[in-house]
Chains A and B, each alone.
Chain A
Amino acid sequence: MLTDLIHRFRSLIRRGAVERELDDELQFHFERLVDRHVANGLPRDEARQRARAEMGGFEVIKEEHRDARGIRFLDDLGRDLSYAVRQIRRSPGFAVLAIMCLGLGIGANTSIFGALNAVLFRPLPVDDPSRLMVLARGTNANFSYPEFQDLQARSRLFSGLTASFPMESDLEVDGVSEFVAAEVVSPNYGAVLGIAPALGHWFTSETEPTAVISHAVWQSRFGGSADVLGRRIGSEAQSYTIVGVAPRGFNGIFAPYRTDIWVPTGTRPRLAVMLDSRSRRVVMVFGRLQPSAASGQASAELNSIDAQLTAEHGASTETLPPIRAEPTRGIPNPGGRRLVSLSASLLMIVVSLVMVIACVNVGNLLLVRGSVRQRELAVRRALGATRSRLMRQLLAESLVLAIGGGVTGILLAVWTNEVLERVMPSMRSTFPIQLELSLDWRVIAFATILSLTTTLVCGLLPAWRGSQVSGIARFKWEIGGVIRRRRPIGLVAQVILSFVLLLIAGSVIDTLHRLQATDPGFAVSGRLYAYIFFPSAPTPERGRELYAETLDRLRRLPGVLSASQTNALPLMPSGSECASLPGGQQLRVSASAIGPGYFQTMDIGLIAGRDFTAIDLPPESSTIIVTESLAKRVWANTPAIGERIMIGCQTPRASIVVGVVRDSAVRDVGESPQPRLYRPFARQYSGGLTAVLLETGTDPAAMVPAVRETLLGMGQNIRVYAVQPLSTYIDQSFTGVRLMATFLSGFGLLALVLAAVGLYGVMAYRVSLRTQEIGVRMALGAGRGAIFREVVWHGLAVAVVGIIIGEVLAIPTTRALAAVQAGIRASDPSTHAAVAAIWVGVAFVACYLPASRASRVDPMEALRHE
């Protein structure tokens, strides 16, 4: 075997020497044969002839040898490729156009695949990622902390298990606070995951207030200075010492959000309630397999431990799927993965359509080239090339183009990734988003496979057609003979695809505008908000007093018309309560606490009853205000005022409704009305962040510095988070849709450009072929205007057909789209009309140049070109 390979290799790289040796050997044999014949009495000449006849042609033997050597395929391929490159160099315009089209298509596909890769396939940047498992029950990757501790203690097949509780938190550096994503982790986190910190080390104890910060924070808040270790930072009213910095490229397990701070579980006393409860599933569990263990065994072991735990502590109320240990891939959290992969898959489909358009372009270009080279191919055919040989040759040209396109595409993707990386930090919805988009082997493999597939797709038909020359006939250079009246199916397909893509982009843009124009149920303009927190307030009462004082000071600022507070802004997750319905079921209702004057400040209309007053504040009082939808739900026809309802999931208490207000957005702008109940802030507040809301007469943005100053002037270690106009906050909630709209518009335009280029190319070619025919017609009296109109009409006809079919196809497409992405409805007719008008305009522009060239044909010149 080995010797075989050595010989094959040698035949390849020292081909000249090997061929010469064979020559010499055969030559020797030949001479001995001649000698024998001479010895038998033949004259030398005859002897030579005889010998030659007996041996057959040397070349034939050598060919057989080459076949036997088994490198013939590679041989031919090499020759084909170098010939192809020479041919392509002779028409640089064609080459550039084809490579650009392919490059754009492949580049777009590679970029999106890169995102898909980061979400679905790429393992975490840890040591030996194939041994790192994430535990999940079905699609739910959450466990309770006591459960984790038991698994950790009893498992033998894992060399280590670690738990992480991702949460929204804050980070305070030198007095400036911001919202960050944090992970509260068991102390062995770094060791189990296998992450070497860029600086310092991971945790040594569970209770010491030490923290590890992200690489990004180290750069942005500490300037990347080496003395960051030992500095103190604050988070959630705790002071931490920095002991380590995470390496670049590790963004935690909360993807796509970037974790900015890791702290040990023992340092968050306020979480103790959650972490001690066996029924609250709040942590993600990761484990590193022992070298000898397999994931199947490990899963089995975990399930048996789980069974033990059920026996010891009683079964949980819900039936849970069994535990599975799987290698971490892409986004570790199944919920997050599902969320992002949906959008990424949509983009992948869009971008594949763009690729199809590009392929049709290149295919057309190749077809054109094929028909132009009929003569050359006919000659080669006459000289003995087989049809398959010609096809291989033509496919080799497609391959060279595809390789060029592939390299261009990869470069484009790299550039796009760099741009995205720079743009991503500003794309925060609540926390910074970071996805590792750098090219890894999977992405390169994808680009390569795509390029090769493109070769086949683009090049097969043209190669088939091109090799179809039938020798003699093609030597005649007829006018009409070369043009085959091909139906412009490819062109129409391109128009359809790009039209549909533009329509989709238009729908999403429509949706975005509609969302932005939707009334969220409360006033947005002229409002300002700030999230604040007094960490050192010893009791909730003191906290309440501080907030009341803050509001007083803010009210006294010039320009502030009213001020109020709440524990949860709309669109932020707020607590929820269970309301018992008459039928006995429980309804989950979102609940928030509001200060006096909230409804005025937010301009939420009171429909019935009254707002909270001083009599609602004592703790014995159990009055609530409900939204319209909740009132309708529970007391369909009777007025809700004065009615009692049981509120509470564990221990229901009777509550009396004193007011009904209009519905406003609870989770997303534009959703259907969600039931909500309100309670007085003074009664409910038990510590935590608060949002203060200000109604300002003037531009709220201008008030921001004054508000911030007033807040900081309160002292008491106040933590001030975002101080922003409410409109900015609402805008940020649309980030996802806005991103989609941007991407889709970009790809839609790309598709448009590609299709327009295709249209232009085919029109130009048609005109150039028909030059003589046009010359004749003009000599016979046809006007320039008529010729011009005819060419343009031709092109527009293609566009119109495509648009009509596109419209028909768009209906099921938008319906499918609406099912995938919430909020998208079939766009209104004006969008359709606009896109159609754009396409007709573009088609006109694409036809203009060829048409004007056609109309300017000089009949004498044209007829002379026989």
Chain B
Amino acid sequence: MTPITQTGLPQGTVDLLILKTLALEPRHGWAISERLTQISSATLTIRQGSLYPALHRLERRGWIKASWGTSENNRRAKYYELTKRGRARLEVEIAAWHRISDAVAQVLESA
């Protein structure tokens, strides 16, 4: 299946995906992009050209916070984790996403 590149994903959706990926545990940028590809069975890929701007944007909004740590292969890496506000935001975004996708589905199913 050809991966849908990030140009197909609106900015809000990218934010949503990143927040969800961080819901369980803190990760660094590389791990986030890997995990996303993994879980979506390679359908969704985020290039780092939009990943890192997105991460920094989310950090500026106060939904995730960053700290430097040591990675699995003993290198210095910047880890991101959800803040309390980020968690709340995630819930809101998920609910919104479901509402929209249900609505789209309804339109498509009507004749």
Contact between B52 and A61, CB atoms less than 8 A apart:
yes
With an 8 A cutoff between CB atoms, is A26 at the interface?
yes
Contact between B57 and A28, CB atoms less than 8 A apart:
no
Contact between B77 and A28, CB atoms less than 8 A apart:
yes
Interface 0/1 of A44-77, CB less than 8 Å to B:
0000000000111000110011001100000000
With an 8 A cutoff between CB atoms, is B98 at the interface?
no
> For A29, what are the chain B residues with a Cβ–Cβ distance below 8 Å?
29-30, 48, 52
> For B62, what are the chain A residues with a Cβ–Cβ distance below 8 Å?
2-4
With an 8 A cutoff between CB atoms, is B56 at the interface?
yes
Tell me the dominant secondary structure on chain A's binding face.
helix
CA distance A24 to B70 in the complex (A): 13
User: Which residue, of B47, B52, B59, B75, has the highest number of chain A Cβ atoms within 10 A?
Assistant: B52
Q: Within the complex, what minimum Cβ distance (angstroms) separates B78 from chain A? A: 5
Knowing that A32-B30, A54-B47, A65-B52 are A-B contacts, what are 13 other residue pairs whose CB atoms are under 8 Å apart, sorted by A's residue number? A3-B59, A4-B61, A8-B60, A24-B76, A28-B30, A28-B77, A29-B48, A33-B30, A56-B49, A60-B49, A61-B49, A64-B53, A68-B56
Contact between A65 and B56, CB atoms less than 8 A apart:
yes
On A, residues with C-beta under 8 Å from B are 2-4, 7-8, 21-22, 24-26, 28-29, 31-33, 35, 54-56, 60-61, 64-65, 68-69
Residues 31-82 of B contacting A (Cβ, < 8 Å): 47-49, 52-53, 56-57, 59-62, 71, 73, 75-78
> For A8, what are the chain B residues with a Cβ–Cβ distance below 8 Å?
60
Known A-B contacts A56-B49, A61-B48, A64-B49; A31 and B75 likewise in contact (beta carbons under 8 Å): yes
Contact between B78 and A21, CB atoms less than 8 A apart:
yes
Contact between B29 and A3, CB atoms less than 8 A apart:
no
Known A-B contacts A28-B77, A29-B30, A64-B49; A3 and B56 likewise in contact (beta carbons under 8 Å): no
The listed residue (A2, A21, A26) touching B48 by CB distance below 8 A is: A26
With an 8 A cutoff between CB atoms, is B89 at the interface?
no
CA distance A65 to B55 in the complex (A): 11
Known A-B contacts A29-B29, A29-B48; A7 and B71 likewise in contact (beta carbons under 8 Å): no
With an 8 A cutoff between CB atoms, is B28 at the interface?
yes
Contact between B53 and A3, CB atoms less than 8 A apart:
no
Q: How large is the interface on B (under 10, 10 to 19, 20 to 34, 35 or more residues)?
A: 20 to 34
> For A54, what are the chain B residues with a Cβ–Cβ distance below 8 Å?
47
Q: Within the complex, what minimum Cβ distance (angstroms) separates B35 from chain A? A: 13
Residue of B nearest to A22 (CB): B52
Residue of B nearest to A5 (CB): B60
Contact between A28 and B60, CB atoms less than 8 A apart:
no
> For A33, what are the chain B residues with a Cβ–Cβ distance below 8 Å?
30
CA distance A715 to B76 in the complex (A): 103
Contact between A25 and B78, CB atoms less than 8 A apart:
yes
Residue of B nearest to A68 (CB): B53
Q: Within the complex, what minimum Cβ distance (angstroms) separates B90 from chain A? A: 17
Contact between B78 and A7, CB atoms less than 8 A apart:
no
CA distance A24 to B77 in the complex (A): 8
The listed residue (A32, A55, A65) touching B53 by CB distance below 8 A is: A65
Tell me the dominant secondary structure on chain B's binding face.
helix
Q: Within the complex, what minimum Cβ distance (angstroms) separates A330 from chain B? A: 47
CA distance A31 to B72 in the complex (A): 13
The listed residue (B47, B61, B71, B73) touching A3 by CB distance below 8 A is: B61
On B, residues with C-beta under 8 Å from A are 28-30, 47-49, 52-53, 56-57, 59-62, 71, 73, 75-78
> For B49, what are the chain A residues with a Cβ–Cβ distance below 8 Å?
55-56, 60-61, 64
Q: Within the complex, what minimum Cβ distance (angstroms) separates B37 from chain A? A: 11
CA distance A865 to B40 in the complex (A): 74
> For B60, what are the chain A residues with a Cβ–Cβ distance below 8 Å?
3-4, 7-8
A/B interface sample: 11 pairs, CB < 8 A:
A2-B62, A7-B59, A25-B78, A28-B77, A29-B52, A33-B30, A35-B73, A55-B49, A61-B48, A65-B56, A68-B53
CA distance A2 to B61 in the complex (A): 8
> For B73, what are the chain A residues with a Cβ–Cβ distance below 8 Å?
35
Across the A-B interface, the 7 shortest Cβ-Cβ residue pairs: A3-B62, A7-B60, A32-B30, A4-B60, A25-B78, A28-B77, A68-B53
Contact between B52 and A26, CB atoms less than 8 A apart:
yes
Contact between A28 and B75, CB atoms less than 8 A apart:
yes
Residue of A nearest to B77 (CB): A28
Q: Within the complex, what minimum Cβ distance (angstroms) separates B46 from chain A? A: 12
Residue of B nearest to A64 (CB): B53
Contact between B56 and A28, CB atoms less than 8 A apart:
no
Contact between B52 and A25, CB atoms less than 8 A apart:
yes
Contact between B78 and A24, CB atoms less than 8 A apart:
yes
> For A4, what are the chain B residues with a Cβ–Cβ distance below 8 Å?
60-62
> For B30, what are the chain A residues with a Cβ–Cβ distance below 8 Å?
28-29, 32-33
CA distance A29 to B60 in the complex (A): 21
Contact between B53 and A28, CB atoms less than 8 A apart:
no
Residue of B nearest to A24 (CB): B76
> For A28, what are the chain B residues with a Cβ–Cβ distance below 8 Å?
28-30, 71, 75-78
Contact between A55 and B76, CB atoms less than 8 A apart:
no
User: Which residue, of A32, A35, A54, has the highest number of chain B Cβ atoms within 10 A?
Assistant: A32
Residue of A nearest to B28 (CB): A28
CA distance A4 to B28 in the complex (A): 21
Contact between A25 and B53, CB atoms less than 8 A apart:
no
CA distance A33 to B29 in the complex (A): 12
> For A64, what are the chain B residues with a Cβ–Cβ distance below 8 Å?
49, 53
Residue of B nearest to A60 (CB): B49
> For B75, what are the chain A residues with a Cβ–Cβ distance below 8 Å?
28, 31
> For A35, what are the chain B residues with a Cβ–Cβ distance below 8 Å?
73
CA distance A22 to B75 in the complex (A): 15
CA distance A35 to B73 in the complex (A): 11
The listed residue (A25, A31, A56, A69) touching B29 by CB distance below 8 A is: A25
Q: Within the complex, what minimum Cβ distance (angstroms) separates A31 from chain B? A: 7
Residue of A nearest to B75 (CB): A28
CA distance A8 to B59 in the complex (A): 11
CA distance A493 to B12 in the complex (A): 58
Residue of B nearest to A4 (CB): B60
CA distance A599 to B59 in the complex (A): 95
CA distance A7 to B62 in the complex (A): 10
Q: Within the complex, what minimum Cβ distance (angstroms) separates A2 from chain B? A: 8
Q: Within the complex, what minimum Cβ distance (angstroms) separates A378 from chain B? A: 34
Q: Within the complex, what minimum Cβ distance (angstroms) separates A675 from chain B? A: 81
> For B29, what are the chain A residues with a Cβ–Cβ distance below 8 Å?
25, 28-29
